[in-house]
Amino acid sequence: MAHALSGACAIVGVAESDEIGIVPNKSHLQLHAEAAENALAEAGLTTRDVDGIFTAGIQTTEIAEYLGIVPTYTDNTAIGGCSFVIHVGHAVAAIAQGLCSVALITHGESGRSRVGMPGRAPSGGRTLRGQFEEPFGLPMPVGAYAMACTRHMYQYGTTKEQLAEIAVATRKWAQLNPKAMMRDPITIEDVLKSRPIAYPLNLLDCCLVTDAGGAIVVTSLERARDLKQRPVRVLGFGESHDHTMISQMPDLTAGPGRISGQRAFEMAGVSRDDIDLAMIYDSFTYTVLLSLEDLGFCQKGEGGAFVSGQRTAPGGDFPMNTNGGGLSYTHSGMYGVFTVIEATRQLRHDYQDQGIRQVPDAKLAVAHGTGGVLSATGTVILARD
C-alpha cells in the first residue's frame, strides 16, 4: 500500500545563485535571494506565491524579511548541510497537510569570501565540544571525518586508493559541468600525492570551499502539473541523526543514513536497483563511501570495492554526483541543496543535448545529505513525472 505522502508533492523549480565559486562582491543573503528568485522564475512563480519558507544557516525570519515573504509555515531545521534535503520532506508533509501551498527552500553561503557571514570562533570552552574535543586540536570538520575513516580502514581494510576512486570519478563529471570550479582531470596518484590535511585524508579527498546559493521550490503534484517545468515527484524521504560530536558517534563506520535511507526507500516503494542516479553529499571521499553502504547500495564494509574501477564515473554503471559534487563543482559549506538541484535536472533530462552528461533515460534518483560530522542525514527519492 502506497504511503500517503509518496508522490503527493513535486519539485517545480531549482536554481543556483547567478554566480557560484568565488563571489567576493555578494553577501550570503544576496546569494540566497538570487537562487530563490531564479528557482521561482523557472517554475513560473514569484516570491508572492510563497507561503512556506525553509532554510538553515540563517533564520527563516531573515530570508523571509529580505524577500518580503510572510509564511504560514516556517522551518528552520539546521543540522548541517543535510538540512536542505530534510527540508524537502518537511515541505511535502506541510503541503500535504494544507499548512502551506508553495514551499521555498533556500540556501546561500559566502563560504569562501565570508561576505556578511558571522566569524568562526571556537565555542569558548563552556560547551561540550569546548570541553571534550577542542582542547585536543581536532581540526574541524575534516579531522572528525578523517578519524572515522581510520576506523573503517581498520575494520574493513578500506584503502586510500579506493577513496581516491571517488574523487577521480567525480572530477570526470565536473569536466562536463561548465559551472564546476575544478575541471582538470586527476588520477588516483594525484589524490594520494595531494597535500596531507588530516590523516588519512589528503586535499583531493576534501570538498571545495566556495560561495554559492541554491534554492528548491516544492508544491502539490496537482499544482506542479500546471507550472512551467516537468514536475519531479518526491516519492519518499527520511531523516535521522545519532550524535553531534564525533567522539560520541556510536559506530564510526555506520551512520544514521541507515535510518533515513531505509525510510525513504520504504516510503517510495522502490528498490536500490531501481535507482538511475545517486547524488551523495561529498564533503569528503569517506562521506560518500560510508553513505553508499548506509543506503544499502552495497554491504557494510564493501564501499571501497563498490566504487573501484570508476563505477561512479560517466559511462559507469552507477552514475553518482553528476554535477561534479562538493569535491569538484561547488561546496559553500552546507552543500545539501545542490544534491537535490542536480537530481531534479537529471530527472527532467535538462542535459539531453549534452551527450554523456545526461544519465540516459533517468527516471529515479536518490539525493542524500550528511550534516555535522557524519551526524545527521536526510534522504529523498525523486521520480520523473
Q: Catalytic site residues? A: 281, 329
131 makes contact with other proteins (CB under 8 A) = yes
How do strand 201-202 and strand 196-198 relate by DSSP bridges? antiparallel
147 makes contact with other proteins (CB under 8 A) = yes
133 makes contact with other proteins (CB under 8 A) = yes
19 makes contact with other proteins (CB under 8 A) = no
157 makes contact with other proteins (CB under 8 A) = no
Nearer of residues 130 and 185 to other proteins, judged by Cβ: 130
Nearer of residues 140 and 356 to other proteins, judged by Cβ: 140
Q: Could you tell me the end-to-end alpha-carbon distance of the chain, in angstroms, rounded to an integer?
A: 20
Nearer of residues 148 and 254 to other proteins, judged by Cβ: 148
In this structure, are residues 200 and 210 in contact, taking their beta carbons and an 8 Å threshold? no
Q: Which region among 50-58, 68-76, 128-136, 330-338 touches other proteins (by CB under 8 A)?
A: 128-136
122 makes contact with other proteins (CB under 8 A) = yes
120 makes contact with other proteins (CB under 8 A) = yes
200 makes contact with other proteins (CB under 8 A) = yes
d(CA 242, CA 257): 10
137 makes contact with other proteins (CB under 8 A) = yes
d(CA 56, CA 103): 14
150 makes contact with other proteins (CB under 8 A) = yes
In 10 A of CB 273, how many CB atoms?
6
Among 139, 157, 185, 309, binds other proteins (CB under 8 A): 139
Instruction: For the CB of residue 332, give the shortest distance to other proteins in the complex, in Å.
Output: 18
Instruction: For the CB of residue 148, give the shortest distance to other proteins in the complex, in Å.
Output: 6
360 makes contact with other proteins (CB under 8 A) = no
Among 31, 104, 252, 362, binds other proteins (CB under 8 A): 252
Cα four-point dihedral sign 26, 83, 201, 304 = negative
Nearer of residues 31 and 138 to other proteins, judged by Cβ: 138
* Residues in region 229-248 near other proteins by CB under 8 A: 246-248
> What nine digits make up the cell of 165?
576512486
Matching residue, cell 516503494: 269
119 makes contact with other proteins (CB under 8 A) = no
Nearer of residues 200 and 325 to other proteins, judged by Cβ: 200
Residues in the interface with other proteins (CB under 8 A) total 37
Among 24, 46, 48, 135, binds other proteins (CB under 8 A): 135
93 makes contact with other proteins (CB under 8 A) = no
List interacting residues with other proteins (CB under 8 A). 120-126, 128, 130-140, 143, 146-148, 150-151, 153-154, 195-200, 246-248, 252
